[in-house]
Amino acid sequence: MARETLAFVATDTPEAQAALALLRQRFADVGPEQADVIVALGGDGFMLSTLHGHLALNKPIYGMNQGTVGFLMNDFALDDLPERIRAAQLATLHPLRMTASDRAGQQHEALAINEVSVFRETRQAAKIRISIDGRVRLEKLVCDGVLVATPAGSTAYNLSAHGPILPLEAGILALTPISAFRPRRWRGALLPRAARVCFEVHNPVKRPVSAVADNEEFRDVVQVDVVEDKNTDLHLLFDPEHNLEERILQEQFVP
C-alpha cells in the first residue's frame, strides 16, 4: 500500500490548527481524495469523526495527538513524518452496524467504531430485554443503559462503565451494563464478534430510551439491533512502538 502522498485534517482547537499550519508549510497537502494517507490532528473524538467522514475513501488514517487522551493517536512531531508513516503498522477494524427502530415506526442505521449504547431519556430507569442470536438471555435489565463495545472501543466508555478491556485479536465484543439496578450483580458478558445483539425496550412510552452509535443519536427507540459489519474496513496507522494492540495491553496494567 503506497504511503507517499498526504492530506491533513484537524479539529478546530487553536493547538490543532497551529499544528496543521506547520505541517502544511513543510509537507504538500494533496487533499483526502488524492492522498495515500490522511493525517488527522486532534484527539480520539476527532479520529472517530475522521474515520466516519472519510469512510467512502477507504484510506488509511494516521492520527497525531492534539487532544487529551489520544488513545487512537500517535505522538505529535514534525520531524521525519513521511518516514514514520512508511514504517507505521496497519490496524484494520470492523465497525458495528446499528439498526434502531423508533416509536414512529422509522428505522435508523449508523456505524459505530467504539460502541453502540442505549440510554434512558428521563429520570426513570430503562427496562431492556437482551437477546443474543435470537435467544433471550436477559428478560429485563433495569438500568441507566447498556452498551456493546468493539475491542478498539473497549478502553473508551466501556472501560468507564467498568467493562473489560479487549485485545484486538480476541475476536470478542463486550456487552456492558451502565448503572445496573436489577439484576444488581450482573456485570455484563463477552460475546463472539459474530454475535447479533438485540435490545428491546419495555414500556417505551413511560420509559423512553435513546440509541447512540459513537456520536450519532436516535431518540424514542423501541428496538436496537447490533452486529459487526464485516464488509466495512477501517484502516489506522500506528508507530511500531505504540501500535494499537500494545496500547490495549498496556492499558490493562495501568495502576
Peptide bond into 183 cis (omega under 30): yes
What sections of the chain are H helices per DSSP? 14-26, 44-53, 81-87, 157-160, 244-251
- Residue 172 identity: I
Provide the pLDDT for residue 232.
93
Write out pLDDT tens, residues 167-210. Answer: 877 889 999 999 999 998 899 999 999 999 999 999 999 999 99
Domains with residue ranges and CATH for the chain: 6-93+233-251 (3.40.50.10330), 96-228 (2.60.200.30)
Q: Which ranges of the chain have pLDDT less than 50?
A: none
pLDDT of residue 1: 66
Closest CA to 53 of 215, 199, 164, 202: 215
End-to-end CA distance of the chain: give it in Å, rounded: 38
CA 117 → CA 78, 156, 214, 215, 247, distances in Å?
A: 37, 12, 8, 10, 24
Place of cell 427507540: 221
In what order do the strands lie in the sheet containing 107-112? 107-112, 96-102, 221-228, 197-201, 126-132, 135-143
pLDDT of amino acid 244: 75
Q: pTM of the full predicted structure?
A: 0.86
Which 3 state secondary structure label does DSSP give 16? helix
Backbone angles phi, psi at 249, to 5 degrees: -65, -45
Identified catalytic residue from 12, 29, 44, 80: 44
* 44 annotated active-site: yes
